C-alpha cells in the first residue's frame, strides 16, 4: 500500500489517496509531480514507458475521481468526515 500526499505551505500533510497492487502512480503530463508518495507496506514499483501508459492512467484516474465525487455527493456531512 502506498500513501499519496501533498505537503501544505503550513507544514501539514494532506493525504490525497492510496495506491495498491496494480495501481499506477507518478503519471504526469508536464514532468511535474502533483503529490508525494511513501510506502506503508512492502512495495515493488516498476517504471513504465510514459507514452504506452498515459491513456490508461488518465482513464483510471478519471474513473477514480468520478467514483469519489459520486460517493461524496450521496454522503451526509458526518459520512464525508
pLDDT in tens, the chain (81 residues): 999 999 999 999 999 999 999 888 877 767 777 889 999 999 998 887 776 677 777 888 888 888 888 877 777 777 766
The dihedral region occupied by 51, where left means phi > 0, alpha psi between -120 and 50, and beta the remainder, is alpha
Domains in the chain: how many in total?
Answer: 1
Does residue 4 contact residue 16 with C-beta atoms inside 8 Å?
A: yes
State which residues form the domain around 23: 2-80
Farthest-apart Cα atoms in the chain, separation: 42
pTM of the predicted model as reported, rounded to 2 decimal places: 0.59
Where are any strands of DSSP class E within the chain?
A: 2-7, 13-19, 36-39
Amino acid at each position: 500500500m502506498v500513501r499519496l500526499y501533498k505537503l501544505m505551505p503550513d507544514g501539514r500533510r494532506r493525504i490525497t489517496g492510496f495506491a495498491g497492487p496494480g495501481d499506477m502512480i507518478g503519471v504526469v503530463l508536464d514532468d511535474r509531480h502533483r503529490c508525494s508518495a511513501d510506502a506503508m507496506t512492502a512495495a515493488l514499483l516498476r517504471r513504465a514507458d510514459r507514452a504506452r501508459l498515459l491513456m490508461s492512467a488518465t482513464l483510471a484516474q478519471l474513473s477514480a475521481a468520478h467514483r469519489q465525487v459520486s460517493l461524496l455527493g450521496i454522503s451526509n456531512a458526518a459520512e464525508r468526515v
